[in-house]
């Protein structure tokens, strides 16, 4: 139970985000009300324990959790219909704000955006742990009241997330760079695979799989996200096109110096991504292990790795396209890789660095 | 011991690929000789058991395992200095072939390219398991003899790899699409992160990490690879630029239909990548599990997952930027996800789909 959160909280929209938020808040005994135009979704979310159906009672905070296209109009409706503080969980922040220009009570609104989602949609995909430890951008605009901003901070914390404070403009620039641009470039790479000869695709390794994974995301959702953040996305895409022109020229003319500069900038970019727990990126190293591809073998590997007292930072599994073995890459702190390799080797695993 | 492989095999170049190949062949009792301009690398590789130093004796097959820039000249030297069959393990195939135009004995050469590598270099990074189950492109040219091609097939099989037969031109088109293009686009995305404000990068999630992972690769190696495959790479980059122009226009003008077409093509591309064991891609689903971030917890999770008799197809770990928990994504056959989630839930894990 929180003293700082205005209650009850009304969640508008019981998709995977809204329902997950209700479940997360209920863990902390926050009073939650739910509304949705889709009566079946509302019943399901309520049945899951995400909150009680809204029946027009007085509320302290409205959380708009509807698809990107409808965030602006639903925030305006909440400001008009209630005297509560209002926030939202949409992926873009300036476009809905433009729709709110001149709306009375705008100071009661401060935006938010949890960096969490699911490949599934609807209330049945919801989980109370969806936001645990994820960043939650809190994006007050110039006229947001201190009370509105504080309420969104507290909402994010109660949901289990970490607050990252940004202006709406900064937020949209940030997600254009860290989410929308990577998504669209991944889509362009994947698009070149769509009509490739099958025997060419037989050479696909882990690299192309990693680069194109996000390109499998729901096109209709991404249409709304990208359109809603058009200015920031178009600006970055134009920067990439300019770099791409330099790159094409460097490749076509064999200009190794220009090519090298572009490649070095890419390396610098990978190092700029914050490391684990928000701290500076620690150097890591990989230990590769050949693992028979059937149930239980990964368990045995991780048990053995755990027994070596080395913390696994990341794992990649590269499947053998032709036989029943997999190659598991264990990413660990650079200073621990030798110890892990020796330890696994001593337990009979085929390893290499 | 193989009857079909001309022996002894001389490996020219004792970096990570050459030394790993020697170690892999020695597992099968193939007679291996080694040469390298770098005497220390040669001593190390030989000391590791990858083969004996070459002293001018008669050889059956020469494997050129030198950096991309030097493959053509080393293949020419091997054809001139010996009457052996010759192959190489370079990342591009038509550029060295152009250098060999008119060279006597060219029919004794057939190219090859194992789809395996390491982020480390030098003989100490070598391992006999490097090629196990990986694709090995075998790329005879128009005048390659049947004996030369058969020898490379056998070499790949003895090293533990699966043969994928392609012409040199097809190979270069294939790796341009499945390796060089993804690498360069990943570099362009990463380049946009290099000078981004730190608080913007705080919103980085798993998507941007996946898309940019390969961009951390060695720039000097990639300079050689890309320059060596300039025509195919420039062609694909130009296709991407044309698509990017359409995309920028669609974003800037809010043309959702065009945007949707591009996004749908990306989804189709991700589905075109061959699935596990070379078969058609089976539908998978993800089960997410909250895991405390210290040694042993992953082991416990994988032991519990193993006990549920569900085969884990892939694993992603998304670290909590603010606290000591991680979110583990277990990718499994779609038909097994419910069972896995129920089973893990019953063992006390916080899960969601």
* Tally of structural domains, chain B: 3
The shortest C-alpha distance from A77 to chain B (Å) reads 25
State whether A155 and A97 are in the same domain: yes
Mean pLDDT for A99-120 is: 89
Dump strand ranges (E) for A208-302.
284-292
Distance from CA of B125 to the nearest CA of A (A): 6
Over the stretch B300-316, which tens digit does the pLDDT of each residue have? 787 788 788 887 777 77
Residue from A23, A127, A157, A189 whose CB has the most chain B CBs within 10 Å, to mutate: A189
A200, A274, A300 ranked by CB distance to B170: nearest: A200
Same domain as A162, residue A22: yes
Q: Which of B191, B193, B196 sits opposite A243 (nearest CB)?
A: B191
Q: Which two tokens stand for residue B272?
A: 């075109």
- For residue A313, being part of any structural domain is answered with yes
Residues A227 and A254 both lie in one domain: yes
Instruction: Clarify whether residues A123 and A159 are in a common domain.
Output: yes
CB-closest option in B187, B265, B290 to A129? B290
Q: Do A240 and B244 touch (CB under 8 A)?
A: yes
A132–B327 CB contact, under 8 Å:
yes
pLDDT (tens digit per residue) in B47-86: 888 999 999 999 999 999 999 999 999 999 999 999 999 9
The 10s digit of each residue's pLDDT in A49-90 is 899 999 999 999 999 999 999 999 999 999 999 999 999 999
- Tens of pLDDT along A201-227? 999 877 898 899 889 888 988 999 999
| Whole-number Å distance between alpha carbons of A97 and A111 | 9
Would you place residue A124 in the very low, low, confident or very high pLDDT band (cuts 50, 70, 90)? confident
Q: Which of A272, A295, A316 finishes a domain? A: A272
Q: Which of the listed residues B166, B199, B231 is the one where a domain comes to its end?
A: B166
- 3-state secondary structure (DSSP) of residue A244: helix
Q: What is the tens place of the pLDDT at every residue in B94-103?
A: 999 999 999 9
Average pLDDT over residues B239-255: 97
What pLDDT band is residue A279 in, cutting at 50, 70 and 90? Answer: very low
Residues B152 and B192 both lie in one domain? no
Asked if the Cβ–Cβ distance from B269 to A306 is below 8 Å, we say no
Question: A4 lies in a domain?
Answer: no
- A268 and B194 within 8 Å at the Cβ level: the answer is yes
Of the listed ranges A319-323, A334-338, B48-52, the least confidently predicted one is A319-323
Q: Which tens digit of pLDDT belongs to each residue from B263-282?
A: 999 999 999 988 644 444 56
pLDDT at residue B114 is higher than 50:
yes
Instruction: Give yes or no: residues B22 and B95 share one domain.
Output: yes
Could you tell me the pLDDT band of residue A323, with boundaries at 50, 70 and 90?
A: low
Query: CB-CB: which of B130, B190, B244 is closest to A352?
Result: B130
Same domain, A305 and A222: no
CB contact under 8 Å between A118 and B294, yes or no, is: no
CATH number at residue A45: 3.40.50.720
Are both B27 and B125 inside the same structural domain? yes
How far is B212 from chain A, CA to nearest CA, in Å?
6
The verdict on residue B250 lying in a domain is no
**Closest chain B residue to A297, measured at CA:** B306
Q: Do B84 and B16 belong to one domain?
A: yes
Handedness of CA A211, A212, A217, A221 (dihedral sign): positive
Q: A139 and A13, same structural domain? A: yes
CB within 8 Å: A223 and B260: yes
Percent of chain B exceeding pLDDT 70 equals 92
Contact B200 A126 (CB under 8 A): no
Q: How far apart are CA A248 and CA A190, in angstroms?
A: 19
Question: Could you tell me which residue, A236 or B214, shows the higher pLDDT?
Answer: A236
Output the pLDDT for position B125.
77
Of B121, B141, B166, the domain-final residue: B166
Residue B1 lies in a domain: no
Question: What is the model's pLDDT at position A92?
Answer: 95
Where residue A196 sits, what CATH number does that domain have?
1.10.3660.10
Q: Is the ipTM of this complex over 0.85?
A: no
Q: Are strands A111-114 and A135-139 parallel, antiparallel or unpaired?
A: antiparallel
Query: Which residue range(s) make up the domain with B115?
Result: 9-166
Say if A2 falls within a structural domain.
no
Closest to A92 in 3D by CA, of A181, A187, A174, A9: A174
Mean pLDDT lowest for which of A329-338, B143-152, B228-237? Answer: A329-338
Residue B221 pLDDT level (bands cut at 50, 70, 90): confident
Q: With bands split at pLDDT 50, 70 and 90, how would you rate the model's confidence at B2? A: low
- The answer to whether the Cβ–Cβ distance between A240 and B188 falls below 8 Å is yes
Structure tokens at A66: 């509807």
Instruction: Identify which of B128, B109, B106 has the alpha carbon closest to the alpha carbon of residue B17.
Output: B128
CB A86 within 8 A of CB A34: no
User: A61 and A155, same structural domain?
Assistant: yes
Query: What pLDDT shows up at residue B311?
Result: 79
Q: Is residue A191 part of a domain?
A: yes
What proportion of chain A, given as a percentage, has pLDDT over 90?
Answer: 62
A187 & A320 share domain: no
| Separation between Cα atoms, residue B198 and residue A272, nearest integer Å | 8
Among B57, B65, B64, B101, which Cα is nearest to B83's? Answer: B57
* A278 inside domain: no
Residue B315 belongs to domain with CATH number: 3.30.70.260
* Chains A, B: CB pairs < 8 Å: 482
The chain-wide mean pLDDT, for chain A, equals 89
CA dist B139 and B109 (Å) reads 10
Q: Considering the domain boundaries, does residue A82 fall inside one?
A: yes
């Amino acid at each position: 139970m929180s003293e700082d959160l205005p209650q009850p909280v009304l969640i508008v929209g019981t998709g995977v985000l809204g329902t997950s938020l209700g479940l997360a808040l209920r863990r902390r005994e926050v009073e939650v009300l739910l509304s949705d135009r889709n009566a079946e979704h509302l019943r399901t979310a309520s049945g899951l324990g995400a909150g009680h159906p809204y029946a027009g009672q007085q509320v302290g905070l409205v959380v708009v959790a509807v698809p990107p296209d409808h965030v602006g109009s639903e925030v305006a409706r909440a400001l008009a219909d209630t005297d509560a503080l209002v926030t939202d969980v949409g992926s873009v922040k300036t476009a809905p704000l433009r729709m709110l220009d001149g709306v009375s009570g705008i100071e009661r609104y401060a935006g938010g955006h949890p960096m969490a989602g699911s490949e599934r949609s609807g209330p049945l995909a919801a989980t109370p742990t969806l936001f645990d430890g994820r960043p939650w951008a809190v994006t007050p605009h110039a006229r947001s009241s201190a009370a509105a901003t504080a309420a969104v901070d507290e909402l994010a914390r109660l949901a289990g997330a970490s607050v990252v404070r940004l202006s709406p403009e900064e937020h949209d620039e940030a997600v254009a760079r860290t989410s929308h641009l990577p998504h669209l470039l991944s889509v362009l790479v994947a698009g070149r695979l769509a009509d490739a000869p099958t025997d060419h695709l037989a050479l696909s390794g882990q690299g192309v799989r990693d680069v194109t994974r996000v390109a499998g995301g729901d096109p209709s959702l991404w249409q709304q996200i990208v359109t809603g953040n058009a200015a920031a996305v178009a600006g970055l895409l134009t920067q990439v096109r300019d770099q791409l022109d330099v790159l094409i020229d460097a490749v076509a003319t064999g200009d190794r110096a220009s090519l090298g500069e572009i490649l070095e900038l890419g390396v610098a970019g990978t190092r700029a991504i914050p490391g684990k727990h928000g701290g500076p990126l620690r150097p890591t190293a990989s230990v590769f292990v050949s693992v028979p591809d059937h149930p239980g073998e990964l368990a045995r590997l991780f048990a053995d790795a755990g027994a070596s007292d080395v913390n696994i930072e990341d794992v990649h599994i590269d499947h053998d396209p032709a036989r029943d073995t997999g190659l598991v890459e264990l990413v660990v702190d650079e200073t621990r890789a030798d110890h892990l390799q020796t330890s696994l080797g001593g337990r009979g695993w085929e390893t290499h660095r």
